[in-house]
Chain A
Amino acid sequence: MTSTLRLDGVDRSFGDRQVLRNVSFEVAAGRMTGFVGANGAGKTTSMRIILGVLAPDAGEVTWGGAKLTRQDRRRFGYMPEERGLYPKMTTREQVTYLGRLHGLDAPAARRATDALLERVGLAERGDDLLETLSLGNQQRAQIAAALVHDPEVLVLDEPFSGLDPLAVDTVVAVLRERAAAGAPVLFSSHQLDVVERLCDDLVIIADGGIRAAGSRRQLRDTYTVPRYELIVATDAGWVRDEPGVTLVELDGARAVFDLPAGADEQPVLHAALARGPVRAFRPVSPSLTEIFREVTQ
């Protein structure tokens, strides 16, 4: 049984520097929620507050409507931004240990560890000391450490940074699997293309405040300006003289232009057809990067 994770009016300061201002957002059950923002925008602080590693100055975190307790949090899977495990322990040992700290009994922790190490491709190096593993393998160990107790909520801070492409695939597969099982999954990233590819919902934070939140489609609709791409057979420079057109990009026969909100795009198409063949004419959706730029400005 899993349910929505909510932050409600969370404030947090360090000394006299306020890093979170009235932060509220939701991570819905069964959805992958991407959490994006520039460095220092407040992503890590928000995640630490969700995990109870930091206390909020005001506001609260709820899960399924009830205030989060330590017992709840023990069923969370957390990958902190700054990675690290015990260098002098074997991977198998510390993943088992973390499983037990999260409430598994000894046999269950061992079984879960064996299964996970197999899954992330570390089964054969499981009994080596962590410090002897390559950086990529240490990252895999870190993933195993976050998932060993089969968490009901996943909070992952920059889970893809520093991962090799194979490990990225593993993490993505695991995240999707957890979400499909009904868990709320929150992950932060500054690689907007990755977020765009993976997330169902999106939360954008800038300067300690939430600037936009919602499903990817909602955000796209909200922040879409009517933008079109036109490709003709010859030079497309004439488009800039059409009524209402703001030229965004011109490259020989290709033009990208905006129209005022609510304006009809058909007159431009007619004009183009009147001048000769039209190879392409289509609306352009803004990329996440563009939305991000717009809302954080």
Chain B
Amino acid sequence: MNVTQATRLVAEREIRVKLRDRTFLFGTLFFLLIAAAGTILPPLLSGGPDSVAVTESAAGPLRAAGLDVRVVPDDRAAERAVRDGDTDAAVVAGPTVLAMDETPEDVVRALSSAPPVRLLDPDAVDPVVAFLVPFVFAFVFFITSQTFGVQIAQSVIEEKQTRIVEILVAAVPVRALLAGKVVAGALLALGQIALIAVVAVLGLQLGDSGGLLTLLAPAIGWFVPFFLLGFVLLAAMWAAAGALANRQEDIAAVSTPVQFAVMLPFFAVIFLNDNDTAMRVLSYLPFSSPTAMPLRLFTGDAAAWEPIVSLAVLLLAAGAFLVAGARVYEGSLLRTNGRTSLRTAWRERETIG
């Protein structure tokens, strides 16, 4: 049996145990509900086209604009329809548009002749969407890397705390243990995101916001490789942090640096996403590039070569952290007397034959 086979066995076990874990299952269900609610509800709540009361003679252009037209006998009846709340607006002689407290833009637009518009920057995104999308990307990466990272650390500590690690280490190479956990975490995280994405896409179709989907597709496509590498980078840190601890209670103390590595890029991307220079820098830094680069692709700010370079940087960083993480993991896995310092773990690595 080689390292790959051992890694597979370890990963299989991690996944099997996780899929039976109620917390994990309910968590996933909860995210799915949020994704469904977030995509299906807003179009439903916005309530479809404005309704407008109008006499038959003036109804033509309003029907043509797709509004909900209610034909009334005269202008007086039209006004009453608005006052009684039967319709959102009315059009009376003049033409004058009547409404209670808010100008019904759709009705006004249907009655005006708009000058031709030529967009000079056609990629520019709806400001609401432009605000929401960075948040969603950063949030998805933050939540999943946090959740699954903590789980990797917990699984490492469980093996240490129960001492089963000694039997495991005698049977398989330490790096197969580490690799198995990282692979299992990445697969579970990606699976969960994919499930959420499927629900969100279905929701967007149902809610008839398909246009946003076409806009997001390339960013999502890039998000996957960035997410995977970013996840491996953090997972290596989480596993090393777990190996330094000795009991589940220690996890908060040993994982502080990892928490920062997750949290700081999250807030940086959220707060600086309209600052071009900051985003350019963030899109190359290994910890923030998984969210920052897909975002710049989404807003159309990044040149075609940029994600490739950034991905390469991330790949190198993930590789380096994996090697360093494995060394700390090996150096501290069998130290079961209290917490191990990072320096000791690094220096006193066991060379296991």
Contact = CB atoms under 8 A, between A and B. Distances in A.
A52 B352 contact: yes
Given A55-B350, A55-B353, A101 B171 contact: yes
A136 interface: no
Interface stretch (A1-9, A77-85, A249-257, A274-282): A77-85
Contacts of B9: 97, 100-101
Residues of B contacting A: mostly: helix
Interface in A77-116: 78, 80, 82-89, 97-98, 100-103
Contacts, number: 69
Which one of B1, B167, B168, B353 has the highest number of Cβ atoms from chain A below 10 Å of its Cβ? B167
A156 to B, nearest CB: 12
A68 B168 contact: no
Interface in A111-169: 145-146
A75 B46 CA distance: 68
B277 interface: no
A183 interface: no
Given A55-B351, A68-B353, A48 B1 contact: no
A161 to B, nearest CB: 14
A53 interface: yes
18 contacts: A48-B166, A52-B169, A52-B352, A53-B350, A54-B334, A54-B350, A69-B353, A70-B352, A73-B170, A73-B171, A74-B1, A82-B166, A82-B336, A84-B163, A85-B164, A86-B158, A87-B158, A87-B162
Contact of A80 (B10, B158, B167): B167
A20 interface: no
B17 interface: yes
A210 interface: no
A63 interface: no
Given A86-B162, A88-B17, A78 B352 contact: no
Contact of B163 (A55, A80, A100, A103): A80
B202 interface: no
A52 B173 CA distance: 10
Which one of B9, B17, B166, B353 has the highest number of Cβ atoms from chain A below 10 Å of its Cβ? B166
Contacts of B158: 86-87
A51 interface: yes
Contacts of B351: 55
Residues of A contacting B: mostly: loop
A76 interface: yes
Contacts of A55: 350-353
B170 A83 contact: no
Nearest to B344: A15
A78 B17 contact: no
Contacts of A76: 170
Interface extent on B, as a size class?
A: 20 to 34
Interface string B152-170: 0000001101111011111
A34 to B, nearest CB: 21
Given A83-B163, A84-B163, A53 B170 contact: yes
Given A53-B334, A84-B164, A86-B158, 19 more contacts: A51-B170, A53-B350, A54-B334, A55-B351, A70-B352, A70-B353, A74-B171, A80-B166, A82-B163, A83-B163, A85-B162, A85-B164, A86-B159, A88-B17, A89-B17, A97-B9, A98-B167, A101-B9, A101-B171
Contacts of A85: 162, 164
Given A80-B163, A84-B163, A53 B171 contact: no
Interface of A: 48, 51-55, 68-70, 73-74, 76, 78, 80, 82-89, 97-98, 100-103, 145-146
B99 interface: no
Which one of A68, A70, A76 has the highest number of Cβ atoms from chain B below 10 Å of its Cβ? A70
Contacts of A80: 163, 166-167
Which one of B9, B164, B168, B334 has the highest number of Cβ atoms from chain A below 10 Å of its Cβ? B164
B336 to A, nearest CB: 7
Interface in B129-167: 158-159, 161-164, 166-167
B162 A84 contact: yes
Contacts of A54: 334, 350
A86 B170 contact: no
Contacts of B162: 84-87
Contacts of B326: none
B172 interface: yes
Nearest to A89: B17
A137 to B, nearest CB: 16
Nearest to B336: A82
Contacts of A89: 17
A85 B167 CA distance: 9
9 shortest interchain CB distances as A-B pairs? A84-B162, A84-B163, A82-B163, A51-B170, A80-B166, A101-B171, A55-B351, A84-B164, A103-B1
Nearest to B13: A97
A53 B164 CA distance: 12
A128 to B, nearest CB: 14
Given A82-B336, A88-B17, A103-B1, A53 B166 contact: yes
B237 interface: no
A119 B164 CA distance: 22
Which one of B9, B171, B334 has the highest number of Cβ atoms from chain A below 10 Å of its Cβ? B171
B167 A145 contact: yes
A53 B6 CA distance: 17
Contact of A86 (B164, B172, B336, B353): B164
Contacts of A88: 17
A69 B162 CA distance: 26
A238 to B, nearest CB: 58
A51 B17 CA distance: 27
Contacts of B159: 86
Contacts of B161: 84
Nearest to B350: A55
A53 B352 contact: yes
